[in-house]
Amino acid sequence: MPSLSRRHFFSAAAGIAAVAMPRVVFAQAPAAAPPAATGPFVVPPLGYPVNALEPHIDARTMEIHHDRHHGAYVATLNTLAKTNPQIATTAVPDVLGNLNALNDDIKFAVRNNLGGHANHTMFWEIMGPNGGKPEGEVLAAIDRDLGGLEKFQKDFDAAGGRQFGSGWVFVTVTKDGKLAIETRPNQDTPIMDGKRALMGNDVWEHAYYLHYQNRRADYLKAWWNTVNWSKIAERYAAAKAGTLGV
């Protein structure tokens, strides 16, 4: 049997160890929040601490969702606005309601990013701790158009659960105060159809996956504990006055 030199021995041993040792794969760290390029679009600050909605929505999810996901939409919009200033100088509902007026090279990006900006701006506004219960005209409209609060919540959650893949479940409101439950894929918004969203819940996985994993139904049910009904009442009054934006 041929003899092995000391160098060959250690080289062979290292090779055996490399085969025997399990390969360790390190998960890539989450990307940092994208810089929201200086421009006319901004991510609205939360009106409450990131942990204010716990245990229903955890602080880490809120931080990533608000700062990174919404921040990415805003950063893209500010980049687009440098060469397409009309998307910033025109009211958001007017841009989203007339997407076909945009050049084809930016239409898709504006649809996704301005839609996401509008949806999330509404989303942060209608949530908060100690949100109370619907009252007054909002409760009357829910009773009249959606069959009462219990049926409304059940139907809303069912619609959100049926939304395939990513998207939103909304309550739309007309100028005469009529309510309806509707869903949209991706970052589409009722504004694109000339409507207004009174409220809505984000059913993209990034809105709930850290805490609920694939249990979207559990997230939808828990989310009601975060709804700020006083803000929704303000939005309802604005919709009837014709002043509700996003």
Q: Is residue 24 part of a domain?
A: no
Domain that holds residue 107: 57-246
Give pLDDT, residue 15: 41
**Of how many residues is the chain composed?**
246
Q: What's the chain's average pLDDT?
A: 89
Report the DSSP beta bridge partners of residue 179.
Answer: 173
Q: Is residue 148 part of a domain?
A: yes
Say whether pLDDT at 21 is over 80.
Answer: no
Q: How many domains does the chain have?
A: 1
What is the dihedral sign for C-alpha 147, 119, 128, 212?
Answer: positive
pLDDT band at 37 (very low <50, low <70, confident <90, very high): low
188: left (phi over 0), alpha (psi -120 to 50) or beta: beta
> How much of the chain, in percent, has pLDDT values that exceed 70?
85
- Identify the CA nearest to 189 among candidates 243, 111, 129, 72: 111
| d(C-alpha 67, C-alpha 33), whole Å | 6
Q: What is the rounded average pLDDT of the residues 142-157?
A: 98
Q: Is residue 43 part of a domain?
A: no
Q: Is residue 163 part of a domain?
A: yes
> Do residues 176 and 156 make contact, with C-beta atoms less than 8 angstroms apart?
no
Q: Is residue 13 part of a domain?
A: no
How far is CA 67 from each of CA 23, 32, 70, 94, 127, rounded to the nearest angstrom?
34, 9, 6, 26, 16
Q: Is residue 167 part of a domain?
A: yes
Q: Is residue 209 part of a domain?
A: yes
pLDDT digits (tens, 9 = 90+) for 69-107: 999 999 999 999 999 999 999 999 999 999 999 999 999
Query: Domain of 200: which CATH number?
Result: 3.55.40.20
Give pLDDT, residue 117: 98
Query: Comparing 24-28, 88-92, 117-121, 124-128, which segment has the lowest mean pLDDT?
Result: 24-28
Q: Is residue 22 part of a domain?
A: no
